[in-house]
Amino acid sequence: MAETVESESAVDRRADEEQGHRAHTKAARLVPGQREGRRIKVVMLGAGSGFTQPLVTDILNIPSIPGGEIALVDIDEERLELAHQLVDKLIEVMGKTGKWSVTATTDRRRAFPDADYLINCIEVSGTKAVRFDYEIPLKYGVDQCIGDTIGPGGLMKALRTIPTWVKVLEDAEELCPQALVLNYTNPMSMMCLAASKVTRKLQVVGLCHSVQGTSRLLARHAGVPYNEMQWKCAGINHLAWFTELTHHGRDLYPILFEKARDHSSEFYQGDPVRCDIMLHFGAFVTESSGHLSEYLPYYRKRKDLMEKYIRSGYRGESGFYARNWPEWRRGTDEHRRKVIRGEVEIKTERSWEYASWIIEAHQTNVPFVIHGNVINHGLIDNLPQGQCVEVAVVVDGNGFNPCRFGELPPHMAAICRSNMAMFELGVIAALESSREAAAHALMLDPLTAAVLSPAEIKQMTEELINAEIDLLPGFQKG
């Protein structure tokens, strides 16, 4: 079956101003004795993605990089052409003409040779499947808000995406084994775990906004300057825990607990599920209430609980992603056309999205700290080794250097482990095209298991796979 790859939506870039999706460390800067940057080649996979404009803007802002090539890849020729015109416009407006060149192709193998960085933002068949991902589980009583990283929706996205991702990595090993691979595509944990199963040459990191955004959110609600707040955070993607949160040695959690107990407060109303988890488990979690509610067995299994804890939008609204994502995708394209026509002002400031800071640190060998998704080799002692975790990672001229965290509090680790079991089976299902492993993955999924019996889960899994069979490489019709 032919590959079906479309560009990743801009959904995860939501509400940047409100959430403060910014890194927690200061920019790497070239210092005396450090090496100067050189011309580089950056490949954008899924160039139709909403990530392309901000990430390319950031890359063009790196002061130590004299220029290079932005290679755009997307199998959707119309969106690829839009991305090409957009990047040309950015280069012109930012005064980088003659320093940076742009190429565009539907064939990634043409773009990969000599690449220094691969930024993966692909979306595989999402517009064709997003309603199935939501509506079929809902018929069985499994209610999802986002459904792209865990649960039935996350599993089906993994089954569609990982086969193509494996081919991307195989081509990269052959054509650009020296490249650093930056993955933005969900389901993040399963994508990174799958990569670890199929490549030993490539350095791969999974990048999300949730640590940056949540740390700024907590500084605001604690009433302290962000650059004066100290914190530690580790766990898994969308479920990492801020185990320490201080300001000049003072614990900030009592302030947050007091605000969370007031259900009329801005803090609680903005994040009812996260506040409730903090009050009962003792620490705040990195992802929005809507996403988090899907990682847990507590909040989405009964009508009365939904009414109590679930709010609109990213606070947990049922079907929020399935209903809105196609429109968000069209909106991204229309905004791009307006930028190209000069009808909207182009923002040229550098953001705190991780990609450009990784490139700068790698090129200059000036260390920079991110929080990334990497494989657990002695990083978090009480989470499964060899699986994907989210921890601090130092980036320098050697690439990615994950930092040891130690042990999470046992109850926090247990919640993470319940998700990691599902991820492990989901990756097996995707790599082996296994209906049995897919059903087992959902039998281990915390939300699905809270709602359905094993027999019902197997029936739902079969219905999902049969509905999307034409989009699932390797699966046989049942």
| Residue indicated by tokens 């990784």 | 358
Task: Measure the CA–CA gap between 478 and 468, rounded to whole angstroms.
Answer: 11
Question: Checking DSSP bridges between strand 180-183 and strand 40-45, what pairing results, if any?
Answer: unpaired
Task: Measure the CA–CA gap between 397 and 382, rounded to whole angstroms.
Answer: 30
Task: Measure the CA–CA gap between 40 and 447, rounded to whole angstroms.
Answer: 44
- Beta carbons of 160 and 200 less than 8 angstroms apart: no
- Beta carbons of 261 and 227 less than 8 angstroms apart: no
Cα torsion at 448, 126, 292, 244 (round to 10°)?
A: 130
Work out whether the CA dihedral 50, 400, 114, 185 comes out positive or negative.
negative
How many angstroms separate the first and last alpha carbons of the chain? 17
Task: Measure the CA–CA gap between 345 and 339, rounded to whole angstroms.
Answer: 7
Phi, psi at residue 157, to the nearest 5°?
Answer: -65, -35
209 is catalytic: yes
- Beta carbons of 252 and 226 less than 8 angstroms apart: no
- Beta carbons of 144 and 153 less than 8 angstroms apart: yes
Q: Which of 21, 24, 209, 291 is catalytic?
A: 209
Largest CA distance in the chain: 65
- Which runs of consecutive H residues, i.e. helices, occur in 142-209? 151-175, 188-198
Residues designated catalytic: 209
